[in-house]
Amino acid sequence: MSLVQDLEALAIDIAREAGELARVRREAGVAIAATKSALADIVTEADREVEALIRARLAAERPEDGFLGEETGADTGSSGVTWVVDPIDGTVNYAYGIPAYAVSIAAVQGEPTPEAWEALAGVVYAPVGDELFHTALGDGAWLGDRRLSVNPEVGPAGALLATGFGYDPATRPGDLELSGTVLPLARDLRRAGAASLDLSYVAAGRLDGYFERGLAPWDLAAGSLLVTEAGGRFGRAMPDGSRRAPLVVAATPAIYDALASTAGLT
Ligand code: IPD
Ligand code: CA
C-alpha cells in the first residue's frame, strides 16, 4: 500500500472506533461540559473523550506526526504529516439527539492550515446509519465500497444547496444575507448542522453545492478532499468586501462557477 492508502486505512480504523464511542455515549445521555467561542458553541464530555481516543491511537501508531484537534489544539510533528481532527462535527445535533453528526479525521502534508496544506487522506464517519465516507489523494472518494462522484448536471429547478451558520451572533445577519444572495440558484437550501457531512454529501451527489463562512480547519479537512476526489470543486477565500471569515464553496463543476461568483468568492 502507498503512504496515502496507509493513512486512509488508519483513519478508517480509528474513525470507526471513535464513532462507536460517540454513539454509545449519546445513547447513555449527553451533558454539555462547557461553552466555547459563544454561548451557542458547546462542547460535551463526549467530544473530549472521543478526541482523546483519536489522539492516543494516532500517537501510538504514528508518533512522528503532528496533530490539530478541535478540542485539544495543536502539536507539531517531525514527519511532515499532521492529523486534523474534529471528534464530533455537528455537536449541537449530537447534544439534541439529531443523528447528523460525524467523526472527521484527515491527514495533511505541509503547514497545517487550509491555505497551505495538501490533504492526503480523509474519513468522515457518521455512526448513526453507519456511513463511512473515505478518500486518499488520487484514489477517489468512497462511501463504504461504493465509489462516489458529484452530480454531473443540475436540473432546471436549480441546485440543491446547503449552508451553515457560525456560532457568533454578530455573523448571523451576514450569513442570512449570503443565503439570500445565493438562493436564486437553488431549488432549495439545507442547513443540516455538520459541515463535514455537507461536504461528504456534495461528494456523494446528495447535494449539488455547499457554501459557508467561517469554517475551522477541522470542519473541512477531510470533506474537501472527498469533494475533489469525487470530481467536484472546492474553493476557500475571503468573500468580497470582508476581511474577517473565509468563505468555503464546494460543488459539482456544473454549478461551481455560478455559485462561487454569486457568493462573492474572490
Ligand atoms: C460546526 C458544524 C456546523 C457549522 C459550524 C461548525 P461543530 O462544527 O459543522 O454545521 O455550521 O460552522 O462549527 O461545532 O459541530 O464541530
Ligand atoms: Ca466539533
As a whole number, mean pLDDT of residues 128-136 equals 98
Instruction: For residue 34, name the pLDDT band (cuts at 50, 70, 90).
Output: confident
Average of pLDDT values for 206-227? 97
pLDDT value at 30 more than 90: no
Q: What is the pLDDT of residue 5?
A: 97
CA distances from residue 61 to 6, 21, 55, 76, 122 in whole angstroms, order as listed: 11, 19, 10, 16, 17
Cα(88) to centroid(ligand 2), Å = 4
Give the whole-angstrom CA distance, residue 17 versus residue 37: 28
Tell me: pLDDT of 148 over 90.
yes
Percent of the chain whose pLDDT exceeds 90: 86
Say if residue 40's pLDDT is above 90.
Answer: no
pLDDT at residue 31, rounded to an integer: 78
User: Euclidean distance between the first and final Cα of the chain, in Å?
Assistant: 38
Looking at all shown ligands, the one closest to residue 95's CA atom is 1
Measure 211 CA to ligand 1 centroid, in angstroms: 13
Cβ of 129: how many Cβ atoms within 10 Å? 8
Please name the residue whose Cα sits nearest to atom 15 of ligand 1: 90
Closest ligand 1 atom, CA of 164? 11
Sign (positive/negative) of CA torsion 204, 205, 207, 209?
A: positive
Cell of residue 71, nine digits:
478540542
Side chain identity, residue 135: T
Contact 104, 83 (CB under 8 A): no
Domain 159-263: CATH architecture, name and number where available: 3-Layer(aba) Sandwich (3.40)
What residues does the ion ligand 2 have nearby, CB within 5 Å? 70, 86, 91
Instruction: List all residues whose CB is within 6 A of at least one atom of ligand 1.
Output: 86, 89-92, 164-166, 193-195, 212, 215, 219
Domain residue spans of the chain = 3-147, 159-263
Segment 187-195 shows an average pLDDT of 98
Among the bound ligands, the one closest to the CA of 18:
2
Task: Give the pLDDT confidence score for residue 129 in this predicted structure.
Answer: 97
pLDDT the model gives residue 243:
62
Test site for ligand 1: of 86, 91, 207, 219, most ligand atoms within 8 A of the Cβ: 219
Can you tell me which residue has the cell 454539555?
Answer: 32
Coil, strand, or helix at residue 89?
A: strand
Q: Which of 39, 43, 70, 89 to mutate to test the pocket of ligand 1 (most atoms within 8 A of CB)?
A: 89
- pLDDT score of 242: 62
Ligand nearest to the CA of 193: 1
pLDDT at 48 over 70: yes
Report d(CA 45, CA 211) in Å as an integer: 29
Domain 3-147 bears CATH identifier 3.30.70.3400: no
What digits encode the pLDDT tens for the residues 228-265? 999 999 999 977 666 678 999 999 999 999 999 999 99
Q: Angle 217-229/195-203 helices, nearest 10 degrees? A: 0
Average pLDDT over residues 215-238: 97
The residue type of 249 is V
Amino acid symbol at 46: A
Which atom of ligand 1 lies at the shortest distance from residue 166's CA? 12
pLDDT band at 41 (very low <50, low <70, confident <90, very high): confident
Q: Is the pLDDT of residue 37 over 80?
A: yes
What is the tens place of the pLDDT at every residue in 197-208? 999 999 999 999
